[in-house]
Structure 1
């Protein structure tokens, strides 16, 4: 029975991460209700370790600074902190994978903008990158109960 509920939590987590990523791509917003649900799932499954909690707090502080300077959106900062807490000892891998995937995503957006400006693609250039996509992909590989 425990494995069935464990599988259900994994499915819920993947579904929430998918909703967050798609919402960030199309609307450039990370829904707070999804973040609250993800936090609830993460807190109920993740054992409390002080270093994971402190890593989450440090990432929230970094996220506030990044949001102040417009380097990162507020929803991205909250998502990163929740995923870091749920990743336990793997939080540094979450940050590294997020940075690498964010770099790949940024290069893809640079190419998209290049082709959009040249008229190869019938679209207007984008000024922001949906960074929650990189965070969600990295989270699926580092959250401890996945």
Structure 2
């Protein structure tokens, strides 16, 4: 199993950063996302399920993404999502925002990828640690950039 936890300070109010994590803004954070369609419960709540489609090469891949936790409190906000990929991996993402000051938000990105088959486990072991770290940092930088741009509008 691969796990990570990274933090970044964003010089923006917590509510402006949090808007990026709403279901209506899914395509903003995930530019390769083709569709994000509600299939169960309501948007932006624990238990919501969405069908997310991505183009991977020339194939359209669809995953059911479940919101395991959705907390929207004034000083702390958490969104935990989970999905299974190709029946080989279970993937969890946890996004936490902590208000540090009126215009300061600590963004924490935690995740875990677990191989659910022998092939999946082998693929995780063979993957590039440097590339995974770049992907995590690129995502965090995208959140920061979009939050700052969002505020300027």
TM-score normalised to structure 2 length: 0.30
The structure whose residues are more often helix, as a share, is: 1
The structure whose residues are more often strand, as a share, is: 2
